[in-house]
Copies of this chain bind each other. A is one copy, B any other.
Amino acid sequence: MSRVLVESELSYEVREPSNLVFSVTAAHTSHQHPERESLDLQPDCGFTEARIGLAENRIVRTQAESGPFSLRYRAAVQLDAKTERPEDLLESLFADLPNDTLPYLNPSRYCPSDLLAEFAQREFGKTDRGHVRVEAICRWVHEHIAYRHGVTDAHSDACDVLIGRAGVCRDFAHVGISLCRALGMPARYVAGYAVGLEPPDFHGFFEVFLAGDWYLFDATRLAPRGGFVRIGTGRDAADCSFATIIGSAELKTIAVSANPIDGDEGGAVDPSTPLSTA
């Protein structure tokens, strides 16, 4: 059990009356409990909170007039991730997969897993099934893909990244998800905050369904999973934009942080220990 203080502040110059949808608030799950949340909009134009999509992600909808606009979110998030022993996490047989995991086997915009069946089989088909296989995928991604800004963009899918061999956190997650799905493992995207991420920013990682639960993975290895705070969950990054603007607004500044309260930063969890916060 640990607590993380997450904060994000986004400021915009709005050019015409616009609708804005934000996905920056911490999710409520059985292993993650946001407390003492505050959400301030300047000017104070009011907002609606809603839950959308398969995973019922929290979003904030608002409308802003022309001029400066900013959003500031702050919460203390209590995390009590469930840990397991790797050897206990076998892949679920298809017949045992719960109905609500099945949509996460389908290909999606940035995770065209239908194209990667042979690729996944040839690289990981002989690896033992279960947690060890997802770890092998993460290792492969980490070793074969360079973490580098400016190579990919918002249109890049996992195949582009596998060819270009470079990308950022969302690209790493998309590749991991695609390979897992291609092997028959439900996998999904998680957007969130991450303690220890340098430079501080929102982060993208992924979850795989193993032995009855969703487990967290991050092929970037840029921050300890124990300090991940989930914002939203989706098929891929298309479901988890931090901000969607309908109209015209320019992002001027963004500041994101995630810091352990009481000094714990999730580092107590060994990198190879399976961890679930779903």
Query: A261 interface residue, CB < 8 Å from B?
Result: no
Q: Which residue of B lies closest to A154 (CB)?
A: B114
B114 contacts A155, CB within 8 Å? Answer: yes
Contact of A54 among B53, B114, B166 (CB under 8 A): B53
B162 contacts A118, CB within 8 Å? Answer: no
Query: A268 interface residue, CB < 8 Å from B?
Result: no
Given contacts A54-B53, A155-B114, contact A122 B146 (CB under 8 A): yes
Q: How many chain-A residues does the 8 Å CB contact rule pick out? A: 44
Q: How far is the CB of A247 from the nearest CB of chain B, in Å?
A: 8
Q: Which residue of B lies closest to A93 (CB)?
A: B19
Contact partners of A246 in chain B: CB under 8 A: 94, 184
Q: How far is the CB of A120 from the nearest CB of chain B, in Å?
A: 9
**Contact surface of A with B, Cβ cutoff 8 Å:** 19, 21, 50-54, 59, 61, 63, 94-95, 99-100, 102-103, 106-109, 111-112, 114-116, 118-119, 122, 144, 146, 151, 154-155, 159, 162-166, 184, 235, 238-239, 246
